[in-house]
Amino acid sequence: MSGPRRAARVAAAILLTATACSTGPSLESRGDVTAPPGDNRNLTIGSAGFTESDLLARMYALLLEGAGYSTRILSVGNREIYEPALESGQIDVVPEYAATFADWLNAKANGADAAPVGSPDLATTMKALRALAAPRGLTVLPPGRAVDQNAFAVAERYAAEHRLRTLSDLGRSGLPVRLAAGDECVQRPYCAPGLRKTYGIDITAVDPKGVGTTQAKHAVRNGSDQMVLTTTTDATLDDFGLVLLADDRRLQNADHLVPVVNRSRAGSAGVRAALGRLNTVLTTADLAGMNEQVDSWRRLPEDVARAYLEARKLVPRG
């Protein structure tokens, strides 16, 4: 294990210990909610510990360093831990997903049974997210173009045979569909129930092989299942001869990538401008391609992140 990575893991362990002992300041005590946005020059960027989050954290760090900030990356693979750390200022910036984070904060504020506030409409989702984040001393920066949503894929030959391009096409076809997904798909409104209700798809069974796993994709390729639940940034579909069916009736929520910052430490115009440079460039396809480089080609996230930003002229070539 290299020195920097080991240091990050040690720092994460310290953070986990600290946040486990305290839930952070109460909402009532957070004077920073209405204070001027802070501009701390030494920033800690949180990663949720999976490939895509690591890539985004690396890109955030490089962009902020280019704007004159010093950065370090802390990998904490649990939102229950890193979100309170973001509130308390132990972490200054994290990459998040708009609808998912809105629903998570809503459940934290109003209970696990609270009605979801994330929606397929980005503007509605962002309004709800910012209203939930602000009382916690958090600022949600503008969303980018890239979206990481649930998505559904079928075998390319199956799509060609039945002339399928969208989920609506599949519903109209009346074909029986065995769906490879996580076992929670049976109840999740954006999975099997939503496919039936929104698209009229005849989901005959959910095969619990996980979300976008190799096993699930093999099952669709060999025809034992007809469709697999994956994500819009899955870059391995071509390897299995699979294609996505468009969510043309917008069943899935607006999970656009958004930077979330601690307002009192990183809410400045400088941070906003540095991270905002990524918004007009990074696409869902770009992110999928970078995921593939790390997961399939075994390249390091820091190398992939830097190469991408250099190619887009967002940072100088090293």
pLDDT of residue 6: 36
For 89-129, how does the pLDDT look when each residue is reduced to its tens digit (9 = 90+)?
999 999 999 999 999 999 999 998 999 999 999 999 999 99
Q: What is the largest CA-CA distance in the chain?
A: 62
Identify which has the larger pLDDT, 193 or 50. 193
Q: In this structure, what token pair is assigned to residue 75?
A: 């990998």
Kindly state the average pLDDT of the residues 34-43: 88
Q: What does the mean pLDDT of the chain come to?
A: 90
- Per-residue pLDDT band at 2 (split at 50, 70, 90): very low
pLDDT at 34 over 90: no
- Per-residue pLDDT band at 318 (split at 50, 70, 90): confident
User: Dihedral of CA 218/223/229/233: which sign?
Assistant: positive
Using CA atoms, how far apart are residues 284 and 147, in angstroms rounded to an integer? 6
pLDDT of residue 10: 40
Q: Which amino acid is it at 32?
A: D
Q: In this structure, what token pair is assigned to residue 27?
A: 């909402």
pLDDT of residue 175: 98
For 123-156, how does the pLDDT look when each residue is reduced to its tens digit (9 = 90+)?
999 999 999 999 999 999 999 999 999 999 999 9
Using CA atoms, how far apart are residues 96 and 99, in angstroms rounded to an integer? 9
Identify which has the larger pLDDT, 29 or 179. 179
pLDDT of residue 232: 95
For 274-294, how does the pLDDT look when each residue is reduced to its tens digit (9 = 90+)?
999 998 899 999 999 999 999
Please state whether the predicted TM-score (pTM) of the whole model is above 0.85.
no
Closest CA to 11 of 64, 67, 73: 73
- Per-residue pLDDT band at 33 (split at 50, 70, 90): low
pLDDT of residue 271: 98
pLDDT of residue 135: 96
pLDDT at 55 over 70: yes
pLDDT at 165 over 50: yes
How close are the terminal C-alpha atoms of the chain, in Å?
Answer: 24
Instruction: Using DSSP bridges, classify how beta strands 150-155 and 242-245 pair: parallel, antiparallel or unpaired.
Output: antiparallel
Q: In this structure, what token pair is assigned to residue 52?
A: 């895509």
The residue with tokens 């065995």 is 178
Kindly state the average pLDDT of the residues 211-216: 93
Q: Can you state the angle between helices 51-66 and 301-311, rounded to 10 degrees? A: 50
pLDDT of residue 227: 98
Using CA atoms, how far apart are residues 189 and 200, in angstroms rounded to an integer? 14
For 6-30, how does the pLDDT look when each residue is reduced to its tens digit (9 = 90+)?
334 444 544 544 444 433 444 443 4
pLDDT at 38 over 90: yes
Using CA atoms, how far apart are residues 305 and 57, in angstroms rounded to an integer? 9
For 252-263, how does the pLDDT look when each residue is reduced to its tens digit (9 = 90+)?
999 999 999 999
Domains and CATH numbers, the chain: 3-147+254-311 (3.40.190.10), 150-245 (3.40.190.120)
Q: In this structure, what token pair is assigned to residue 318?
A: 């090293």
